[in-house]
Amino acid sequence: MRARLALGSILLIIGFLTYQTGISIIRDQNTLATPYINKIISYLTISQNVFYELLVYFGGIVVIIGFLISVSTMSTPKVIHVEKTIKPGSKPTPQKVSDVPSCKFCGASITEDDIFCPECNKALK
């Protein structure tokens, strides 16, 4: 999860730098990276303008990919690790509901024959 986020961030930065370099070279033909890029171009058999435009497109695509990777790590639902509190071997105690009758007003335990609750004296029937 963190590796993917880091990869996405790195791609974002690389893509952005590539894009910016391409844009700035096209705009004023002179950046810090220009001599290095011209050296690369001299080895390739493509024209400078094509290479600069490729830089921009490549940078843009890498930015989009990096962005998508970063976003996908955030939107992926986290696997919630639920620890079971019930220890193996111990059975969960079933709640007794209807075994002992209780007053519907105060919850005090009553008997079936009680007409009035012994605690709150309200009429049960």
The residue (of 11 and 110) whose beta carbon lies closer to Zn ion is: 110
Instruction: Supply the minimum distance, in Å, between the C-beta of residue 94 and Zn ion.
Output: 25
Q: Which of the ranges 16-24, 47-55, 68-76, 109-117 carries the binding residues for Zn ion, by CB under 5 A?
A: 109-117
List beta partners, residue 102: 109
The residue (of 36 and 105) whose beta carbon lies closer to Zn ion is: 105
Among 36, 57, 105, 116, binds Zn ion (CB under 5 A): 105
Instruction: Supply the minimum distance, in Å, between the C-beta of residue 100 and Zn ion.
Output: 14
- Residue 85 tokens read as 């509190």
Instruction: Supply the minimum distance, in Å, between the C-beta of residue 79 and Zn ion.
Output: 47
Specify whether the CB–CB gap between 17 and 67 falls below 8 A: no
Write b or e for each residue in 4-18: b if 16 or more Cβ atoms lie within 10 A of its Cβ, otherwise e: eeeebeebbeebbeb
| Count of residues in the chain | 125
